[in-house]
Structure 1
Amino acid sequence: MIIENKIIQGKNLRWLLRCPNKNDAVELSKLRVKIDGETEYMDRESGEGFLSPEDFQKVIYEDSVAEKNIFLVAEVNEKIVGFARCEGNTLSRFRHKAEFGICIAKEYWGYGIGKVLLESILEWADNSGIKKISLTVVEENAKAIELYKRYGFVEEGLLIKDRLHKDGSYYNTVLMGRLA
């Protein structure tokens, strides 16, 4: 699915919300590795689950034509600083569901980019016939959990010692969902 570009005037920052195109693939590949290395809140460590520019081109194309997928980027001064992706399920028993994730470069935290990406994903999901949208978040990411709760997500479960971080400690993963 593709949306129209939208200029966002947020907290002391003007930025562009749009869908990516194939020319963004190199930048997205580099940004994903960068963001994965900036926080322990992501599922991957920097470089893990690497998506090459060719991989991103494929995802961008597939999401642009899929009815139940959307890929959004946040662009500041012609530089992508974050993105969100929501992927629907094609299995008959689960076609009412979708999962999503958001990631933003650390230097752009606190500008409301995550909130706008979340609102945009939810608006799209509600208009696309998606009845349930799910996500996972590390339990220590209280700020993200509170944001999701403000938008109607509820905690549906807790995966105990689900994550092993570089410091050798285990962390729990919170399963969250929102029904339309």
Structure 2
Amino acid sequence: MNKKRKYYPNSVKSRRSYTLKEIAEIYNLHIRTVQNWIKQGLKIIDMSHSPYLVLGQEVRDFLKAKKRNRKRSLKPGEFYCTRCHEPRRSIPKHISFNKTNKLLGKNEKQIIVIGVCMVCGNKLFLFSSQKKVAEMKKKGMKLIEKDKILIGNEGCSLKTDKKNVKDSEKNEFKIWAQGSLF
């Protein structure tokens, strides 16, 4: 599977020309990757002379266009499926949301909407706000609030602080230490 990378366009100076090897070194890539970029539309100054030179502004524009092409806009009620790489709707019965304590701005709290992809069955996540979830409910989406499940043990016997141990627990410990408990 291809490795997705973030290429920062500002790593290249716009008014300078670069060889393919220099571009590969800047972005820590193999030179064949940069040669593939030429096949994908990266413009070269002059194809008749070697080494090939590329303007920094051309590299910047190419990388920004590549990033723009990967983005997907979501309509209301859609999630981005990481398996299908497309905006998808969730199975209506499997939509729920979790409230987090994180704030978005001054008053809005973050809410994570969770669903299941209709096509592949993958879990879908949408980071949203209280206001957007209220709009989803008005449009007819049925959202179920997920309960928070805390896993713990109330009767923990790892009381090692001698100051807070009760007298009854001290006696139990003495009996156990003497071996008469079993």
Q: TM-score, normalised by structure 2?
A: 0.23
Q: TM-score, normalised by structure 1?
A: 0.23
Which protein has the bigger strand share? 1
